[in-house]
Amino acid sequence: MDISENTRISDLLKENKDSIDAIASLAKPLEKLKNPILRKLMASRVTIAEAAKMGGCSIQDFERVLKPLGFRFLVDSKKEDSSDEELPDWLKTLSEDSIEIFDVREILSGGQDPLKQIVQRFKRVTVGNALCIVNSFVPVPLVRLLEKEGVKSFTKTIGAQEFHTYFYKVPAGKEVKKAVKPDKNDNIRMLDQASFQLEYDRFTKANIREIDVRALEMPGPMQTILQILPELGDDEALYVNHKRVPLYLLEEIAGENYCVNILTLSEIDVKLLIYKIR
């Protein structure tokens, strides 16, 4: 099979299932592909180039482990990965004092999830300033989720194991306007309590299925939600008590015919209201 850095991981897996172990061997973040649930969430949306950034490895590394499996790269991947991509205008104009640096590598190496701390720090960022996350891979799901909220982002490759991802809080008047009515391409919404209640009140009590996944270990919460969603009727909604914003789950739902409303009450108390878009 001929492939390039733009080939999706799911296409590799369809062609040769052994590519799961091959890719997972490159870096710890890519070991998630061994988990069937996480593989379903990641593979269809992530390209080889994105997976390389997530794993903190190079395109050459992918070529090295995939070539023995019969894959052939269409381009010369031996050239250095581009790390000097031009900075966006908003980042060029920011002073060092306007950018907060948060290195999460030690947190990850300690086996902890830095998501809560990242979200908390970004909330404190002044409008017109930015938060820079220093990591050994690119947090693709977080980037996509925040971009849906009008946040601008840019990732600069520093080295094979160091990536700087900037999140810019856009000043008033420059935000990306959201559609009033969600569609398949804009179906994830972060709401305040009043707006979330309005969405909840659209459904009768009998048509709301409520679950609590806060006590489940990963990937239990995702597995439970994914099992229930196909069973929802057109007039039903799934109300989920969660302890975090489930980024990988949202990546999967973003491409499906569902609307996801998110209410964050605290760092350990998140509510989701999910229903089919009619």
Q: CB within 8 A of 234, min separation 6: which ones?
A: 276, 278
Domain assignment present for residue 175? The answer is: no
- Are both 200 and 266 inside the same structural domain? yes
Residue 96: exposed, middle, or buried by beta-carbon count in 10 A (0-12, 13-18, 19+)? exposed
**pLDDT tens digit string along 95-132?**
999 999 999 988 877 767 777 788 889 989 999 999 99
Q: What is the pLDDT of residue 52?
A: 83
218 and 271 both lie in a single domain? yes
In a domain, 176, yes or no: no
Asked if the model's pLDDT at residue 45 lies above 70, the reply is no
Per-residue pLDDT tens digits for 58-70: 889 999 999 999 9
pTM exceeding 0.75: no
Last residue of a domain, one of 49, 73, 97: 73
CATH classification at residue 233: 3.30.110
Cβ atoms of 158 and 174 closer than 8 Å: no
Residue 65 lies in a domain: yes
- Domain limit, last residue, from 73, 106, 126: 73
Choose one of 119, 138, 168: the last residue of a domain. 168
Pair 68, 95 in one domain: no
Asked whether the bond before 36 is cis by omega within 30 degrees of 0, the reply is: no
Q: Which helix (H) or strand (E) holds 224?
A: helix 220-228
More confident residue, 72 or 173: 72
Question: How far, in Å, CA of 46 to CA of 41, rounded?
Answer: 9
DSSP for 71-88 reads -EESS-TTSPPP--PPPP
- What's the pLDDT at 38? 63
Which residue segment(s) compose the domain that 207 sits in? 188-276
**Number of domains within the chain:** 3
Is 102 part of any domain?
Answer: yes
Pick the closest to residue 271 from 199, 223, 169, 184 (CA basis).
199
User: If DSSP codes are grouped into helix, strand and coil, which group holds residue 191?
Assistant: coil
